[in-house]
Structure 1
Amino acid sequence: MTDDFTQQKSRAAAWFRQLRDDIVTAFEGLEDNHATGPLSDAAPARFEVSDNSRHSDDGSDAGGGLMSVMRGGRVFEKVGVNVSEVYGTLGEAAQRAMAARGVPGMDSDPRFWASGISLVAHMQNPHCPAVHMNTRMFWTPHAWWFGGGSDLNPCIEYPEDTAHFHGQQQAHLDPHGTDLYPKLKAWADEYFFVPHRNRARGVGGIFMDDRNTGDWEADFALTQDIGRAFLPAYVPLVEKRRVQPWSDADKDTQLVHRGLYAEYNLVYDRGTKFGLATGHDANAVLMSLPPLAKWT
């Protein structure tokens, strides 16, 4: 496969950046309009935005990204919304990982390009669920694919919140085929499972990886709708739960659940492993970790 994907790469990277901008605006809006309930008398927080760059072993430019983190807000205790566009040559370990996933020819031409958005939100109010979302495109001279999804991680579960979150995802996926949502939901249930705890990380969502049907436009459209589903799936839950009072016991439950989240991300998450293996900014890769957690 020759690199005839210049336009497609540009379109994908631009879409991830636009989705980032939309989410940042929406989340700062939640901070601004939090007028009643716990912490409503505090000042609204804002995202701190920083560029991060990546360089190859010979010092040449290898892309980078934009890291946007908001801390200590009225609604969000810590939330990161990162976008990246990186390229270069995969190291030997990453080449082996690609070969294990069925990508041929990496030993002869290990060039790669990747772009995506990654989001993790940890909330002040224990009744507000934490959440994760990402979408991405990956290219090599031998293959390309899309991946992504989102999953809800409440420490105090509300069945109606879970139903809303999943319902919005299904509504956005059904136009691409009514068989798709059940498949991606089952994939998320399998992927976001914590084997050493014998339990799920949260209440699930959708997940896909290595998406290449041979129709780039169709796969890109699906990836966009996974991103578009995020705000209508998540924001109403925050608006509803942020006004609820919480107890010390609720906060303790939240911190213990965050310990589970941290365990998963450090031990099993593919994105964490890939980002560190390819020399991406460690602070950006580990942005997903909560600001506080505890273990019993």
Structure 2
Amino acid sequence: LNQLLAEMDGFDGSKGVVLLAATNRPESLDPALTRPGRFDRRIPVELPDLAGREAILRLHAKDVKCSPEIDFNVIARASAGASGADLANMVNEAALLAVRDGRKMVVQRDLEEAIEIVIAGEQKKGTAISNKERMIVSYHEIGHALVAAKCQNSAPVHKITIIPRTKGALGYTMQVEQNEQYLVSKEDAYHRLMIYTGGRCAEELIFNSITTGASNDIEQATKLARAMITRYGMSDNFGMMALETVNNAYLGGDTSLQCSNETATKIDEEVATLIKKAHDEAYQILLDNKMKLHELAKYLYEKETITGEQFMYILNKPVEIPTSLNNTETNA
């Protein structure tokens, strides 16, 4: 630090020298470095917003032959949370997909598939999964989607698939927000908890058993429930009391508790209670829509991948009652 400060001495606005530096630990910078006359201007480089993602996609797409019918706004909405490097990789992956299919230009479905490749990995179509496991995954994913569809203000379901991916996922449900969302209400956060638990609830309801397939859901639900209580002030018991701090937002966002051991125990109990409540409500939604759960899971099992439009069409149409059941009821 002393050597750096010594090297920077003597520079001023008339020397024609601009000194730039970058760090992903801004909170640990020495005040002597950031005082006026040294590194006195900070330019935070955050993840791009919706407009930024669309502009970045268009920038990288200039070097690739693309169909004029591509809607970059749809791709930008589906890639929420992606960095500039991720978006560049998506355009590159889309170009590779087009070449593999023997086409001379990138189309919409190439970019949509590229998002999934960057997020979840390549499709593992050759992976041998038993019919029973495929059926369990079908119910699991429809459980997520069905709970999401029944929660108010939840992001619409965009795509559901049970094709395994190279990053370990046996299937996933993709939701896409209509607009960029900067604030999350307590109700919205709680609905996300319900959606996270929906897959496990479907397994319990249909198979009276549980599998390891919900491991990532459990991790995400626990992280969200803990943040609601310790950082967002969404707890009735603790209120607006800061119990946890984010150590570094640019390096994984790891957190540390700032409370006594007794309070930490109470936090754990409240997290478990909150997740259980969300689980029970999600379970009741699936129980009330059990026939639709069967119908949608069967359709997903047969098709392997369905769009949000197909999902909503089946969900909203009247329940199909088997003919034999009708005859039985008539005779009775």
Query: More strand per residue: 1 or 2?
Result: 1
Higher RCO by CA contacts (8 Å cutoff, separation 6 or greater): 1
TM-score in terms of structure 2 length: 0.22
Query: More helix per residue: 1 or 2?
Result: 2
